[in-house]
Every structure is written in structure tokens, then in C-alpha cells.
Amino acid sequence: MQTLGIKRTSTADTERARPGPGRDLSALFAGAAVTIGAVGAVLALTGSGSPLRGPFALFFLFSAPASAIAAALRGLDPYGRVLASVAGAVVVDMLVAQGMLAVHRWSIDGGIVAVAVVSGLTALSVFVRHMRRRTTADKGV
């Protein structure tokens, strides 16, 4: 027979332990970042004269490759992952710009699209790798 007891906890402990709205803002920040990046890419591709075009497009150019690289580096500790993903985002942006300049095809629209494609392919490879591990784990291999 099992004896059940009541453990007294402070209000601060229950507030920290209890999940619910307002407890975890990381999903909200991630959604806001994706929205800002998408708006920046759309503003840059449409040639809008909005004053937000530059900052939002720059945010897209750094956040899209950084988030894709961070997803690929799941095994690192958080600080190393942030550092490596930011450095990788700068490298991706510079390689895209250098490649477009080398072939004399530089354009703002082309740069945005090229960075989006590279980031999308990186994120897609992470997703495919995750799905393969999941299916092999389901099969019991």
C-alpha cells in the first residue's frame, strides 16, 4: 500500500514549475523573429520604399542561415551553438555575395533568394536526417 502525503511548497515554486501561458516566451520570440525575417525578405523582393526594408532585410540575411545552422548543431552547448551559428551566418552571406560578384550577377533580389535557398536546403537536410533517425528508431533497428 502506498501512502500519499502533501508536500508544502511556496508560491514561487509552483509558479516556476507550472507550465502555461506566459511561462515560456521562447516560442513567442521565435515566431516574432520568423515574422520579421519574412517581412524583410518580402519588402526587399518587392522593392518597397518602407524605412523598415533595410533593417528587416538585414535581420533576414543573418537570422535565416543562423537558425538553419543552429538546428544542424544540436549537440553543442547553447553558447557554442549561438557562436557557431552566427559565424556560419556571416560566412554564408559573404560566400553568396562573393559568388555573385565573381560571376557578375550581383543583385539585391538574387542575394536574398540565394541566402533563402541555402538556408532552406540546410534546414531541409536537418529535417530529413531527423526523420530518418525517427523511422529507424520506430523500426527497432
CA 110 to chain centre: 21
Q: Which residue has the higher pLDDT, 5 or 95?
A: 95
Judge whether residue 86 has pLDDT over 80. yes
- Rounded Cα distance between 12 and 15, Å, is 5
pLDDT at 8: 58
- The string over 108-139, giving b where at least 16 C-beta atoms fall within 10 Å of a residue's C-beta and e elsewhere, is eeebbebbbebbeebbeebeeeeeeeeeeeee
- Rounded Cα distance between 66 and 1, Å, is 54
Q: Which residue has the higher pLDDT, 138 or 7?
A: 138
Confidence of residue 98 (pLDDT cuts 50, 70, 90): very high
Judge whether residue 1 has pLDDT over 60. no
Cell of 47: 522593392
- Rounded Cα distance between 60 and 125, Å, is 20
- Rounded Cα distance between 73 and 78, Å, is 10
Q: Which residue has the higher pLDDT, 135 or 95?
A: 95
Select from 97, 38, 88 the least CA-distant residue to 67: 88
How much of the chain exceeds pLDDT 70, in percent?
A: 81
pLDDT at 101: 96
Stretch among 23-27, 110-114, 116-120 having the lowest mean pLDDT: 23-27
- According to DSSP, residue 28 is labeled H
Cell of 117: 535557398
Judge whether residue 10 has pLDDT over 80. no
Select from 128, 29, 119, 112 the least CA-distant residue to 68: 119
Average pLDDT, rounded, for the chain: 85
- Rounded Cα distance between 126 and 5, Å, is 46
